[in-house]
């Protein structure tokens, strides 16, 4: 009797897992049939199909470098649902790098970034089907991709599907980067040559141009400072600032934000320790701190530096900062300034 109970339990367990598998397979087969029908009716079977189940349309053919595994590529993209309506993110912005899409949808804002995105190919950083597709593309290629839900995982064990049903994606490969660090240094030097010709780097990947000379000695450990700043990418997109007039000039003023000077203290190891308006302490990226330690009281300067001194591979929150060189306009004022002690 005990053996019978155990056997019955095993049968029930196997049956449960078998049913679950059949349900999953059924859901996939339904999705496959709907996707196939859409391709036949709407596109008359004119699209390409991969063995994995991706459908795609070639919108433009490029002649540049091919995308390779473990590489970096700059792309433009737009995401759609199965009915090819633009996807809107939870923050109300369109899931697209295209400015004209935001304008078309009535969602354009000067505060939002519409530049290219940096992707990592062949390292499980993209949805499996998207990764498969971009690895078959080259610079200049543009494709529309129908991504089945089973190819929206990241290609490793335990990865969850991003989508519950087929989605559609436009992807254009703009540039294949062989060496992301060299690319950044070359970009910084091009930026220097365009805006500040003749400026030499103070250290590897770090450039500074003084706009208004300061007073006294260069800032050092123990000095307390107020800082006004405007942070940009190399394409001049402003991602952060605390100068109200500049915010108004570029149509990004936010009435709910307090445009106050950043306050902090110069600490050991070129760390600029800051205290926000709520009394919380923190620090800036190392390139920002390095700039402070190379300035004087009431100096105004522009600094630009590569991502090792910024957010590295990214801050985990925004697509803006993936291996992105940064530019800062800075103006500093010592709050512990004592003219007599400086003479």
Q: What is the pLDDT of residues 214-242, one digit of tens each?
A: 999 999 999 999 999 999 999 999 999 99
**Dihedral angle at the C-alpha atoms of 265, 271, 272, 277, nearest 10 degrees?**
-90
Task: Report pLDDT digits (tens) over 64-96.
Answer: 999 999 999 999 999 999 999 999 999 999 999
Find where tokens 């190379």 sit: 294
* Residue 124 pLDDT > 50: yes
Collect all residues with Cβ–Cβ distance below 8 Å to 275 and sequence separation of at least 6: 263, 264, 281, 282
Q: Find the mean pLDDT for residues 148-171.
A: 93
Q: How much of the chain, in percent, has pLDDT values that exceed 90?
A: 80
How confident is the model at residue 6, as a pLDDT? 42
How confident is the model at residue 183, as a pLDDT? 97
DSSP structure class, residue 67: P
| Structural domain that includes position 84 | 31-177
Domain boundary among 134, 160, 177: 177
What backbone torsions phi and psi does residue 191 show, to the nearest 5 degrees? -65, -45
Token pair, residue 251, equals 């149509």
DSSP structure class, residue 160: P
pLDDT band at 336 (very low <50, low <70, confident <90, very high): confident
Question: What is the number of domains present in the chain?
Answer: 2
Q: Are 306 and 266 contained in the same domain?
A: yes
* Residue 309 pLDDT > 90: yes
Q: Are 273 and 215 contained in the same domain?
A: yes
The answer to whether residue 3 sits within a structural domain is: no
Cβ contact 225:337 at 8 Å: no
Q: Are 70 and 219 contained in the same domain?
A: no
The answer to whether residue 13 sits within a structural domain is: no
* Residue 39 pLDDT > 50: yes
Cβ contact 62:140 at 8 Å: yes
Helix (H, G, I), strand (E, B) or coil at 111: coil
Cβ contact 119:131 at 8 Å: no
CATH, residue 185 = 3.10.50.40
Alpha-carbon span 218 to 86, nearest angstrom? 52
Domain boundary among 120, 153, 177: 177
């Amino acid at each position: 009797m005990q053996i019978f109970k155990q056997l019955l339990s095993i049968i029930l367990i196997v049956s449960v897992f078998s049913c679950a598998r059949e349900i999953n397979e059924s859901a996939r087969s339904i999705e496959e049939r709907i996707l196939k029908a859409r391709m036949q009716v709407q596109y008359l079977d004119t699209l390409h199909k991969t063995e994995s189940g991706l459908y795609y349309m070639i919108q433009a053919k490029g002649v540049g470098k091919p995308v390779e595994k473990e590489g970096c590529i700059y792309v433009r993209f737009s995401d759609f649902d199965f009915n090819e309506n633009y996807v809107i993110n939870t923050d109300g912005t369109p899931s697209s790098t295209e400015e004209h899409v935001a304008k078309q949808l009535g969602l354009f804002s000067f505060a939002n970034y519409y530049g290219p995105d940096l992707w990592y190919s062949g390292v499980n950083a993209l949805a499996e089907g998207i990764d498969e597709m971009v690895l078959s593309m080259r610079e200049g290629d543009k494709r529309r991709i129908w991504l089945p839900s089973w190819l929206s995982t990241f290609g490793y064990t335990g990865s969850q599907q991003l989508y519950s049903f087929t989605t559609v994606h436009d992807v254009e490969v703009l540039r294949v980067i062989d060496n992301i660090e060299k690319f950044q240094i070359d970009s910084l030097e091009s930026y220097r040559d365009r805006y500040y010709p003749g400026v030499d780097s103070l250290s590897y990947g770090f450039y500074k141009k003084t706009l208004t000379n300061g007073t006294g000695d260069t800032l050092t450990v123990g000095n307390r400072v107020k800082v006004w700043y405007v942070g940009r990418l190399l394409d001049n997109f402003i991602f952060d600032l605390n100068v109200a007039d500049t915010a108004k000039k570029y149509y990004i003023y936010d009435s709910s934000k307090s445009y106050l000077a950043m306050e902090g203290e110069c600490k050991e190891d070129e760390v600029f320790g800051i205290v926000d308006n709520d009394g919380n302490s923190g620090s800036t990226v190392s390139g920002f701190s390095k700039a402070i330690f190379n300035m004087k009281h009431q100096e105004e300067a522009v600094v630009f530096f590569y991502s090792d001194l910024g957010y590295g591979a990214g801050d985990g929150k925004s697509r803006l900062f993936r291996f992105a060189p940064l530019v800062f306009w800075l103006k500093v004022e010592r709050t512990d300034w004592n003219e007599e002690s400086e003479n």
